[in-house]
Amino acid sequence: MFDRLIDRCCKLIEMITVACLAAMVVLVLANVILRYAFNSGITVAEELSRWLFVWTTFLGSVVALRAHGHLGTEFLVGRLGPVGKRLCLALGYVLMLFVCWLIFEGALAQTRLNWKVSAPSSGASLAWFYSAGLVFAVAAAVILLNELYRLLSGRLRDEDLIIIKENEDQA
């Protein structure tokens, strides 16, 4: 049941990511056309595009984490037995959760620090820019905790113990 909820949230995140990407393309294209054809431009387009790019990157990383779409290698882990693979996967999840904590802590500090700082062209709070790290860290931690629970409760099959993709064709 919790897996379905996470899958639905990831579908929503995918739609948000697509909307961010589309908005970014429209902003940049409109700005290019306006600059070259009419010698003008949209003042906030560059700043907003940068913000959308950051949000797209962080949100896309959440979806890729859920889909096990990140590239890696199984050089060592592929040679281990099921118990070794389980131990390595559990250690990997714990280390990734630690990294999520570090990202959360750093993003929270930056968000608090920049809460009253305004962006140069839009005037929006820079906290919105840095909060992408907060959203990523929380979403990734939820996914990782669910995966760790599935591993520790024995709900993962032996063939699911290697979660990386060897090459881009498999991703």
Q: In whole angstroms, how far apart are CA 63 and each of 38, 69, 73, 91?
A: 39, 8, 20, 21
Determine the pLDDT at residue 71. Answer: 73
Has residue 165 been placed in a domain?
Answer: no
- Range of the structural domain that residue 60 is part of: 2-160
Has residue 167 been placed in a domain?
Answer: no
Confidence band, pLDDT 50/70/90 cuts, at residue 166: low
Confidence band, pLDDT 50/70/90 cuts, at residue 68: confident
**For residues 91-110, average pLDDT:** 96
Has residue 133 been placed in a domain?
Answer: yes
**Average confidence score pLDDT of the chain:** 88
Confidence band, pLDDT 50/70/90 cuts, at residue 12: very high
Tokens of 74: 């199984």
* Residues contacting 151, CB < 8 A, separation 6+: 86, 89, 90, 93
Q: How far apart are the first and last CA of the chain?
A: 25
User: Domains in the chain: how many in total?
Assistant: 1
Q: Using only the alpha carbons of the chain, give its radius of gyration.
A: 20
Please, how many CA atoms are within 13 Å of residue 12, restricted to the half-sphere of its CB? 7
Has residue 86 been placed in a domain?
Answer: yes
Determine the pLDDT at residue 158. Answer: 66
* E strand spans, 31-145: none
Express each pLDDT in 39-54 by its tens digit.
Answer: 888 888 889 999 999 9
Residue 39: count other Cβ atoms within 10 Å of its Cβ. Answer: 7
Give the Cα separation of 95 and 19 in Å (integer). Answer: 32
Residue 45's φ and ψ, nearest 5 degrees, are -60, -45
Determine the pLDDT at residue 10. Answer: 93
What is this structure's pTM?
Answer: 0.85
Has residue 40 been placed in a domain?
Answer: yes
